[in-house]
């Protein structure tokens, strides 16, 4: 039984279609990623799931309820893009205030510790760095002990270290049984964190799979680069059935192909007593899979 | 129970935040009293005046100072705060929690009302102690007039907040309304000495009607049916308008 089920979601703003046709299901306890280029409809989709917008078509259920059901406000924690706090509220006041909203809130001190905010409790919101504001925003999404957390552009604006810390935090939250929906446009973040991913482009789901599954699906192709010890004729390599193309970059040769490409290439080279120096196998990344899926970068 | 705790916490937070805006807090709390002190220090204003039907200028200005507090908080502070909350996505964030954004609106209005009560009480107390301005001889009528005026003016403030795209815009619209409103409340020339036609117009403005209701109560009467109707009308029209038009994001 999925905790979130979205079927044929449609949403337009005036003449602009933000979401054309989006369907997916999020299972209990997973980290589900929604990936896509800017303007693809990711944020609109999660705003509909969070009950902030009314869809024009399709159905959404969250924990078997309609998304606008007020009982869900206790079960679903949401971290929105570009949602701030009053300039002069302190971190401590914000945490205390938001924990007063919930019947069984998390211990805000423990949460502040976990998010590295313990030293900022007396700081006013306007004085916090972008990363600290983001951490506070995450803390407020988690303060009600939600069963589902929806996090939109979680690590945008964070430095690389803070980003990695946040990823650790998200994994530790998932380990406590919370289902997480993560909107992102960072491939590294998606492949590191997400159990499954929906790739959205121009308001439609163009792929839905595990990160590894997405990569495999689009790239049966492999690439090998090396510097031969003596010059090699292209025809020699192209004679192997696995090889589809040979390209030269200075002294380096790049061989593209399918199947057991590495074995095919090394066999050809060995037969001619050629040594492959600086041999590298390039595997497709989620980045490439993504670019291939959405057809532009 | 949870609702009450949420509301209390929101109201206390709003009061703290208001106290951290030194200029706003100072003017809302002390400016009406300062006005009373300055005008009361002018000897001629402490003499009975035939134009005012034997009352002294200072007697009139305590009521005007109370109207001034309501105008500052209702027309300037409330639209600024609430439109800023929308602009910054604070109302949207609240919409994802069990605390509905309406509670924040209620908390902000309560904080403004409490501030207005303290500010008015201060102006009245200083008027009484320093310049012998008599306390309202119809106390219940005064409370009624104060509440009617507060509700009418705050409803207009909410309406501005509903329409203003940003905190700055909300404050500008409020300030634009503040000056004519306070003119009709008699801030520059007491209502009693305005030409008759301006008095009549003033009776139908929120602060003109509010000041008249306060003045009536201070001199022993109940607020007139006209003033009460005008203020309830502002509350109904602008309150409903704000409820219909208020956008959370």
Categorise residue A55: left if φ over 0, alpha if ψ from -120 to 50, beta otherwise: beta
ipTM (interface pTM): 0.86
pLDDT for B249? 76
Which helix (H) or strand (E) is A36 found in, with range?
Answer: none
The arithmetic mean of pLDDT across residues A266-281, rounded, is 88
Q: What angle do CA A18, A23, A26 make, to 5 degrees?
A: 120
**Any CB–CB contact under 8 A between A86 and chain B?**
yes
| Beta carbons of B96 and A73 less than 8 Å apart | yes
The arithmetic mean of pLDDT across residues A168-197, rounded, is 90
Phi (first) and psi of residue B16, to 5 degrees: -60, -45
Of residues A77 and A115, the one with the higher pLDDT is A77
Residues of chain A positioned with their CB less than 8 A from the CB of B9: 96-97, 100
Nearest CA distance, A83 vs chain B (angstrom): 4
Mutate to test the interface with B, among A78, A100, A138 (most CBs of B within 10 A): A100
Give the domain range for residue B29. 2-245
The arithmetic mean of pLDDT across residues A110-124, rounded, is 92
Residues of chain A positioned with their CB less than 8 A from the CB of B17: 86, 88-89
Between CA B173 and CA A227 the distance in angstroms is 72
Residues of chain B positioned with their CB less than 8 A from the CB of A84: 88-90
Q: What is the dihedral of CA B57, B62, B64, B66, to 10 degrees?
A: 180
Nearest chain B residue to A84 by CA: give it: B88
Q: Which one, of B13, B89, B134, B159, lies nearest residue A101 by Cα?
A: B13
* Alpha helix (H) residue ranges in A107-210: 108-114, 130-142, 160-175, 187-193
Task: Tell me: pLDDT of A219 over 70.
Answer: no
pTM: 0.82
The arithmetic mean of pLDDT across residues A122-136, rounded, is 91
Between residues 41 and 70 of chain A, which touch chain B (CB distance below 8 Å)? 50-52, 70
The arithmetic mean of pLDDT across residues A177-206, rounded, is 90
The arithmetic mean of pLDDT across residues B15-30, rounded, is 93
Size of interface A-B (CB pairs under 8 A): 64
Of residues B32 and B186, the one with the higher pLDDT is B32
The arithmetic mean of pLDDT across residues B36-59, rounded, is 86
Average confidence score pLDDT of chain B = 91
pLDDT > 90 in chain A, percent: 47
pLDDT for A251? 86
Nearest CA distance, B65 vs chain A (angstrom): 29
pLDDT for A218? 63
- Fold (topology level) of A4-209: Rossmann fold (3.40.50)
**Any CB–CB contact under 8 A between A76 and chain B?**
yes
Predicted confidence band of residue A194 (pLDDT cuts 50, 70, 90): very high
pLDDT for A297? 43
Residues of chain A positioned with their CB less than 8 A from the CB of B97: 73, 98, 101-102, 144
Sheet with A243-249, strands from edge to edge, namely: A243-249, A252-257, A222-228, A276-282
| Beta carbons of A51 and B6 less than 8 Å apart | no
Domain boundaries, chain A: 4-209, 217-294
The arithmetic mean of pLDDT across residues B104-126, rounded, is 93
pLDDT > 90 in chain B, percent: 62
The arithmetic mean of pLDDT across residues B203-209, rounded, is 91
pLDDT tens digits, one per residue of B71-97: 999 999 999 999 999 999 999 999 899
The arithmetic mean of pLDDT across residues B45-66, rounded, is 86
Between CA A219 and CA A223 the distance in angstroms is 10
Domain count, chain B: 1
Alpha carbon A160 to its chain's center: 15
Nearest chain B residue to A83 by CA: give it: B89
| Beta carbons of B96 and A85 less than 8 Å apart | no
Specify the 3-state DSSP secondary structure of B152.
helix
pLDDT tens digits, one per residue of B227-242: 999 999 999 999 899 8
**Any CB–CB contact under 8 A between A136 and chain B?**
no
pLDDT for A66? 95
pLDDT tens digits, one per residue of A229-243: 888 888 888 888 888
pLDDT tens digits, one per residue of B144-196: 999 999 999 999 999 999 889 888 899 999 999 999 999 888 888 888 888 88
The arithmetic mean of pLDDT across residues A138-156, rounded, is 91
Task: Tell me: pLDDT of A280 over 70.
Answer: yes
Architecture of domain A217-294: 2-Layer Sandwich (3.30)
The arithmetic mean of pLDDT across residues A258-271, rounded, is 85
**Any CB–CB contact under 8 A between A85 and chain B?**
yes
């Amino acid at each position: 039984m999925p905790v979130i089920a979205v079927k044929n979601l449609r949403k337009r703003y005036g003449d602009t279609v933000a979401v054309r046709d989006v369907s997916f299901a999020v299972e209990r306890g997973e980290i589900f990623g929604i990936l896509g280029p800017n303007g693809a409809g990711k944020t609109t989709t999660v705003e509909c799931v969070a009950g902030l917008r009314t869809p024009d078509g399709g159905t959404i259920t969250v924990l078997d309820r309609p998304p606008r059901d007020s009982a869900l406000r206790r079960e679903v924690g949401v971290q929105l893009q570009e949602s701030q706090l009053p300039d002069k509220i302190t971190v401590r006041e914000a945490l205390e205030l938001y924990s007063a909203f919930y019947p069984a809130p998390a211990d805000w001190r423990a949460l502040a510790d976990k998010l590295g905010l313990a030293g900022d409790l007396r700081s006013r919101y306007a004085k916090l760095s972008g990363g600290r504001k983001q951490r506070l925003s995450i803390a407020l999404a988690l303060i009600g002990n939600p069963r589902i957390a929806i996090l939109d552009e979680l690590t945008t604006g964070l430095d690389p270290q803070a980003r990695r810390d946040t990823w650790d935090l998200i994994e530790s939250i998932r380990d406590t049984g919370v289902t997480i929906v993560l909107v992102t446009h960072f491939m590294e973040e998606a492949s590191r964190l997400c159990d499954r991913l929906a790739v959205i482009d121009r308001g439609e789901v163009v792929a839905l799979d595990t990160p590894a599954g997405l990569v495999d699906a689009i790239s049966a192709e492999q690439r090998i680069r090396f510097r031969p010890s003596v010059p090699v004729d292209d025809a020699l390599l192209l004679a192997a059935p696995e090889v589809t193309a040979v390209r030269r970059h200075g002294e380096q040769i790049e061989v593209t192909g399918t199947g057991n490409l590495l074995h095919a290439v090394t066999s050809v080279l060995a037969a001619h007593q050629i040594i492959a120096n600086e041999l590298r196998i390039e595997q497709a990344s989620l980045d490439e899979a993504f670019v291939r899926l959405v057809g532009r970068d | 129970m949870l609702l009450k705790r949420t509301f209390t916490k929101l109201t206390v937070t709003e009061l703290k935040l208001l106290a951290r805006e030194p200029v706003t807090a100072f003017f809302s709390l002390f400016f009406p009293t300062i006005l009373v002190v300055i005008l009361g220090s002018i000897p001629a204003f402490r003499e009975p005046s035939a134009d005012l039907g034997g009352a002294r200028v200072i007697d009139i200005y305590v009521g005007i100072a109370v109207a001034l507090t309501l105008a500052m908080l209702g027309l300037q502070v409330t639209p600024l705060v609430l439109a800023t909350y929308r602009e910054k996505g604070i109302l949207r964030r609240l919409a994802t929690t069990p605390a509905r954004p309406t509670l924040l609106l209620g908390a902000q209005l309560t904080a403004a009302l409490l501030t207005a009560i303290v500010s008015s009480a201060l102006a009245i107390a200083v008027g009484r102690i320093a310049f012998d301005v008599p306390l309202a001889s119809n106390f219940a009528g005064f409370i009624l007039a104060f509440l009617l005026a507060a509700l009418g003016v705050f409803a207009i403030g909410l309406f501005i907040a509903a329409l203003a795209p940003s905190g700055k815009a909300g404050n500008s619209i409020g300030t634009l309304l503040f000056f004519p409103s306070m003119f009709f409340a008699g801030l520059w020339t007491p209502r009693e000495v305005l030409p008759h036609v301006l008095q009549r117009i003033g009776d139908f403005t929120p602060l003109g009607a509010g000041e008249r209701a306060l003045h009536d109560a201070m001199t022993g009467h109940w607020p007139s049916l006209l003033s009460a109707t005008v203020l309830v009308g502002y509350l109904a029209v602008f309150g409903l308008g704000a409820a219909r038009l208020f956008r959370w994001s």
